[in-house]
Amino acid sequence: MSDEGEESSEAGSDEEDEEWQGLDGSGDEQASESVQGDNKPSASESKVDQSSTGAAAPSGSKYVPPHLRKRAEAESAQQSEAQLKLTKQLKGLLNRMSEQNIASIVDGVEEIYRNNRRHDVTETLTKLIVDGISSHSMLLDQYVVLHAAFVSALHKLVGIEFAAFFVQHVVSSYDKHFAELNDPNNAAAAANAGNDDEPLGKECSNLVVLLSELYNFQVISSVLMYDVIRALLEGDLTEFKVELLLKVTRNSGQQLRQDDPTALKSIIQIVHSKLPSDTTALSSRTRFMVETLSNLKNNKIKKAAGQTAGTEAVERMKKFLSGLTKKRHVMSHEPLRVSLEDLRSADTKGKWWLVGAAWGGDPLVERQQEAQAQTEKDAPPPDAPSENALLKLAKKQGMNTDIRRGIFVVLMSSDDYVDACERLSQLKLTEVQQREIIRVILHCCGNEKQYNPYYALVVLQLCRLSHSHKITLQFCLWDFLRDMGESTVGGAEILKNLTDDDRAGFNVKSISPTRMRNVARAYGWWLAKDACTLAILKPVDFTVLKPQSRAFMRELFVHLLANTQLATPLLSSERREDLPTTRNKGPLEEVFLKGAKIQAVALGLVYFLQTAFKGEEGFLKWASQVALDTLRTGMEVVPVI
């Protein structure tokens, strides 16, 4: 008992001395030495004394009692040991992971989640995967696919919290490496640029591939992927940005096109706006990227030989994930619909995509800012004509009803043919009133001094959206031919039932050669692009056409033949060098096969093409001959009734 009392008294004196030293940092060194000489502390205790003295030296620091310091150190040592053990466990599982045992690895990680703090497991696992993928200089597709499928499995089984943390860390790491790469003062990037063994920007490249595969496995949505693409298109289009864009389109292009084709079209428009006028100055990689995007838009993309292994791995992993959702209880079904801006501002505004997380944004203010920005964007340029000026011009052009004037204002004030079609659909016209759209467009097209393909593109888009516009286009052609003197066009029954409104079309006295050529060129484009078929010429008797009507028909067929070989409307056919140089029979045969199904139309077209293009050379000779052969072939297979 006496020994225990002496030990306790000695311990108490040590604590009192230490407390005193902590309160008074400038303690008496001699007193300190005498105390240390009487009671020799252990090595750990001396370290604690030194740390406490050093910690107390700065003014205003908080004093921590010795027993609390010892407890904190013990907990820290225990935590670091537990962290090392956790890292070792997870690293061992990841190193053993393959397609054959991924299910057992997922089960092992779930067991680790049950035995440890969830945040520690998520943070450690994220760091191991991201560091492992970003550090590889030569990364195999199967490696990224395997780890992306693993993340997707944990997203389904563990919950959205894991996927949200992982994606945010990937995007943050990608932004950091991309900023370092574009920093001219970054010495490390400059050093790697001259090292052939270390590809420049390998971290960004690998992380972009990882994001693409996460998108393929429904961890993230197309919103984030399109944001990443738009961010790459900001500023100059460098070789490295082109490489990253190619990686995204190769890995996720088809899925992006399927999820949001409109966004893909806008991306392609941005890419084309970035290209110089002289395309010969483009590098081979940039040309290949533009070609790949165009093929993707038209659904003509082909799988490269090197992509086969990666594509097969994706399909196998999708089957694994599909089976996982059937066998196990799934915590999360939908991909994360977060944008790039959401992830970048998560530390300041919060994480709205997580249940229970704080949110610092103000949706009302943001919506007002977006509306103001959209208003400024939609504001007409200073030199644009006002609506009052357009209404006066509409009256001058003969637009004698409110509906026609409204259509005219929309056509004249739209940015392009797509904008015009969208605004025309917002006029809330009835089915009968919509017929005025085609009539106004034809009237404006004919009044132009020089042929303007804008009207042809608007009508083509309208006909793709509604079949009723095709019918109106047919009747407007018949009206135009009657105005030129072909009084029998349309049939006796149609002529008898014409109302005053139906007759309110072109005036025969107003059909000048310019109007005739403009309308003929427009109909040539519409026939070539299937806005209407050659069946609209059924009531036309080609053997008794008046000279003006014959000239109109010849101009129409010249542009019809030429536009089957072109992607944009032909502006003029007066010069031989303006005619196309391609010789593609497919589109030409497709147009005339539809006309060959009607016996009367086919016979009339054969007669007209033989007489109107007799003696022609070059393209017109070849195209008219292909058309004649197609019509004759079609007439042989169509029975005569």
**Cβ–Cβ under 8 Å, residues 440 and 401:** no
Q: How confident is the model at residue 6 (pLDDT cuts 50, 70, 90)?
A: very low
Q: Are residues 56 and 186 in the same domain?
A: no
Residue 248 pLDDT > 80, yes or no? yes
Residue ending a domain, choose from 64, 83, 107: 64
User: What is the CATH classification number for the domain harbouring 339?
Assistant: 1.25.40.180
As a dihedral over the C-alpha atoms of residue 105, residue 109, residue 111, residue 116, rounded to 10 degrees, the angle is 160
Residue 376 lies in a domain: no
pLDDT of residue 524: 92
- Is residue 351 in some structural domain? no
Mean pLDDT, rounded, for 27-46: 40
**pLDDT at residue 32 above 70?**
no
**Which of 311, 344, 377 is a domain's end point?**
344
Whether residue 603 sits in one domain with residue 547 = yes
- Has residue 119 been placed in a domain? yes
CB 360 within 8 A of CB 350: yes
Residues in contact with 506: Cβ distance below 8 Å, sequence separation at least 6, in sequence order: 442, 443, 446, 479, 480, 483, 515
User: What pLDDT band is residue 636 in, cutting at 50, 70 and 90?
Assistant: low
Where is 557: in which H helix or E strand?
helix 547-563
Domain boundary among 322, 344, 366: 344
Pick 332 or 165 by higher pLDDT. 165
Q: Which domain holds residue 143?
A: 95-344
Tell me which residue of 239, 241, 303 sits closest to 267, measured CA to CA: 241
Dihedral of CA 498/502/508/512: which sign?
negative
Q: Mean pLDDT across the chain, nearest whole number?
A: 78
Burial class (CB in 10 A: 0-12, 13-18, 19+), 233: middle
Is residue 488 domain-resident?
Answer: yes
Domain shared by 336 and 443, yes or no: no
Of the pLDDT bands very low, low, confident and very high (cuts 50, 70, 90), residue 105 is very high
Beta carbons of 529 and 590 less than 8 angstroms apart: no
Which has the closest alpha carbon to 103: 28, 52, 157? Answer: 157
Q: Within this chain, do residues 105 and 45 fall inside the same structural domain, yes or no?
A: no
In the predicted model, what is the mean pLDDT of residues 284-312?
Answer: 73
In angstroms, the CA 256 to CA 210 distance is 15
- Determine the residue type at 3: D
Whether residue 296 sits in one domain with residue 175: yes
**Per-residue model confidence (pLDDT) at position 59:** 40
pLDDT value at residue 77: 65
Residue 392 lies in a domain: no
Q: Are residues 103 and 189 in the same domain?
A: yes
Q: Which residue has the higher pLDDT, 165 or 295?
A: 165
* 128 and 186 assigned to the same domain: yes
Q: Give the Cα separation of 225 and 256 in Å (integer).
A: 8
Least confident of 351-355, 430-434, 506-510: 506-510
Residue 439 in domain: yes
The residue to which tokens 């990037």 are assigned: 189
322, 466: one domain = no
Per-residue pLDDT reduced to its tens digit, 396-444: 777 888 888 888 888 888 888 888 888 888 888 888 888 999 999 999 9
The total of other beta-carbon atoms located within 10 Å of residue 539's CB is 17
The tens digit of pLDDT for each residue in 127-138 reads 999 999 988 777
Residue 257 has pLDDT above 50, yes or no: yes
Instruction: Provide the pLDDT confidence category of residue 75 given band limits of 50, 70 and 90.
Output: low
* Mean pLDDT, residues 353-372: 65
* pLDDT, tens digit (0-9, with 9 covering 90-100), for 363-387: 666 666 667 766 655 554 444 455 6
List of residues 6+ apart from 171 with CB closer than 8 A? 211, 224, 340, 343, 344
The answer to whether residue 380 sits within a structural domain is: no
Q: Mind listing the pLDDT tens digit for each residue in 182-232?
A: 776 654 444 444 444 555 678 888 999 999 999 999 999 999 999 999 999
The DSSP-derived string for 177-223 is: HHHHHH-TT-HHHHHHHT-TTS-TTHHHHHHHHHHHHHHHTTSB-HH
- Statement: residue 23 has pLDDT above 80: no
Q: What is the DSSP letter of 551?
A: H
Task: Place 293 in a pLDDT band, splitting at 50, 70 and 90.
Answer: confident
Residues 30 and 159 in one domain: no
Residue 98, judged by CB atoms within 10 A of its CB (0-12, 13-18, 19+), counts as exposed
pLDDT class of 276 with cuts at 50, 70, 90: confident
- The per-residue pLDDT for 5 is 45
177 and 320 part of one domain: yes
442 shares a domain with 332: no
Contact yes or no for 337/160 (Cβ under 8 A): no
C-alpha distances in angstroms, 323 versus 102, 103, 555? 13, 11, 63
Chain centre to alpha carbon of residue 31: 75
pLDDT tens string 565-614: 888 887 666 666 678 888 888 888 888 888 888 888 889 999 999 998 88
Least trusted range by pLDDT, from 3-7, 257-261, 455-459: 3-7
Pair (480, 529) in one structural domain: yes
Give the model's pLDDT for residue 301: 66
The answer to whether residue 610 sits within a structural domain is yes
- Mean pLDDT (whole number) for 27-39: 39
- DSSP label at 510? G
Please state, in angstroms and rounded to a whole number, the distance separating the CA atoms of residues 519 and 552: 9
- Label residue 485 exposed, middle or buried (CB < 10 Å: 0-12, 13-18, 19+): middle
**Cβ atoms of 451 and 518 closer than 8 Å:** yes
Can you tell me the distance from the alpha carbon of 349 to that of 363, in angstroms, rounded to the nearest whole number?
Answer: 11
219 neighbors 336 (Cβ within 8 angstroms) = yes
Task: State the DSSP string of 394-422.
Answer: HHHTT--SHHHHHHHHHHHH-SSHHHHHH
Q: How far, in Å, CA of 528 to CA of 561, rounded?
A: 7
Distance CA 97, CA 317 (A): 13
Q: Give the pLDDT band of residue 40 (cuts 50, 70, 90).
A: very low
Distance of CA 562 to the CA centre of its chain: 33
Count of domains in the chain?
3
Round to whole Å and give the CA distance between 332 and 73. 39
